[in-house]
Chain A
């Protein structure tokens, strides 16, 4: 197995994505990085602000509800 690159012979969704990215290893790595950044952006900008008030971590006021 020593001669087989680590990403070959892998299955699962990330392996599937990697196999379907175009270009050389470097191009794929760059695209992967861009995808990761995009996902983090969407999480920080939209998903987390939406989820935060639904979670009981940051209510600071006293009220009767």
Chain B
């Protein structure tokens, strides 16, 4: 082993060969252990740095790609008349959420809030623990949605920019559902499933109605609490031939 190292040095170091003592001295076992330990620490630091880059940048790249593909698929299906009336075909996504206050593009809405769904950069409607009411059903209830705050498309990153009175528009194949924000809960426990109730009492509502609830994590970059935004259905517009958006989106 020592012999190999020596030949290596002679072969590849040229100038060092004339100063053999400096290059060839073998470090003691303690120096060796300290070096390896130090390098492990540096490595751990680099890996953590890479993890931050992965979380905040790479997952967005992957998610935006996936969301774009799935959104194109849904638009394509709509354009070719696939998907049932009212778009109750939920396999690829049921529609798009437009929130001008969040200053992002449309967000595709799919069924379920598992990581597998949400990591594609879409918003998911709850099936568990409280089943979401879908606006297309026409029944009173709460259309509850979740999406990522950071990474994985960060569809709800700017949720804190939403103010009372702002519009939330949900677009399906043949209807625009225009909601108006009336309640915001900037911080609540992640166990507070009552915010998803058909009549979310915490928002101040007592009677059944057509509500929408957006949930995501807060503060940014952590998952300590949940941020909740409530809206109530204001009106429903039919989609025309050009898909002209309602005035809130113009």
Contact = CB atoms under 8 A, between A and B. Distances in A.
Chain B's interface size range is 35 or more
Interface string A33-65: 000000010011000100111001111111110
A9 B25 contact: yes
Task: Give the bracket for the number of chain A residues in contact with chain B.
Answer: 20 to 34
A64 B217 contact: no
B50 A63 contact: no
A4 B14 CA distance: 9
B39 A12 contact: yes
Given A11-B27, A43-B47, A53-B115, A59 B35 contact: no
Residue of A4, A11, A13, A43 with most chain B CB atoms under a 10 A cut-off? A11
Contacts of B151: 58
Contact of B217 (A9, A44, A58, A63): A58
Contacts, number: 114
B13 A8 contact: yes
A60 B22 contact: no
Interface in B1-56: 5, 8-9, 12-13, 15-16, 18-19, 22-23, 25, 27, 31-32, 35-36, 38-40, 47, 50-51, 54-55
B15 A60 contact: no
B137 to A, nearest CB: 22
12 contacts: A3-B19, A4-B15, A4-B23, A5-B13, A10-B35, A12-B38, A13-B40, A51-B51, A56-B223, A58-B148, A59-B217, A61-B126
Given A5-B15, A59-B217, 20 more contacts: A1-B22, A3-B18, A4-B13, A8-B16, A8-B22, A9-B22, A10-B35, A13-B39, A15-B35, A19-B8, A48-B54, A56-B223, A57-B150, A58-B148, A58-B223, A60-B223, A62-B146, A62-B190, A63-B190, A63-B193
